[in-house]
Copies of this chain bind each other. A is one copy, B any other.
Amino acid sequence: MKPALIRNGEQPGESETERAARLIRCAGARATPARVRVLRLLRSAPTALSHHEIEQSLGDLALDRVTLYRVLDWLVATGLAHRNADTRRTFRFSAASSSEHSAHTHFRCDGCGRVFCLDAAPPPPPKLPEGFLLSRIELDLRGRCAQCAGSAQ
């Protein structure tokens, strides 16, 4: 849902920041630096990020641990982001894309735990036991990412 936009970009950086801020306000909350920075980061990340990775990426101006958790929770609650537990049982967050679909394909690395979002074709619709409600399909590929496969293990 992005209504066409508005200010045609000034600096690409500013433009993206503005967009994140707008998405947040649309969701009915204050566009605080914490939220804007986190959402912008998620939107530009190629993989789903863990709490720890996000903290690192924010660098020196890192937020308080708790604030970051709350920002992430809020993003997930409003649907601006998704949350998944990785193979090492830590949560990973990714921005919800506009081309959001209920079927997703991920690659989960058994080495480093990272999650890569693939564009692969959506899997076929399955049949479920009686009474079960389906809300989302996810195809999960497990193995080692290029980096982990390269290094001896």
Residues of chain B within 8 A (CB-CB) of A145 are 131-132
Assembly stoichiometry (copies): 2
* A85, A86, A87, A90: residue with the most chain B Cβ atoms closer than 10 Å: A85
Check B150 against A144 for contact (C-beta < 8 Å): no
Contacting A107 at CB < 8 Å: which of B89, B107, B128? B128
Task: State how many residues of chain A have any CB contact under 8 Å with chain B.
Answer: 41
Closest-CB distance, A47 to chain B (whole angstroms): 11
User: Is A135's CB under 8 angstroms from B128's CB?
Assistant: no
Q: How near does chain B come to A69, taking the closest CB pair, in angstroms?
A: 13
Q: Nearest residue in B to A144 (C-beta to C-beta)?
A: B133
Pair B120/A132 contact, Cβ less than 8 Å: no
On whether the beta carbons of B123 and A124 are closer than 8 Å, the reply is: yes
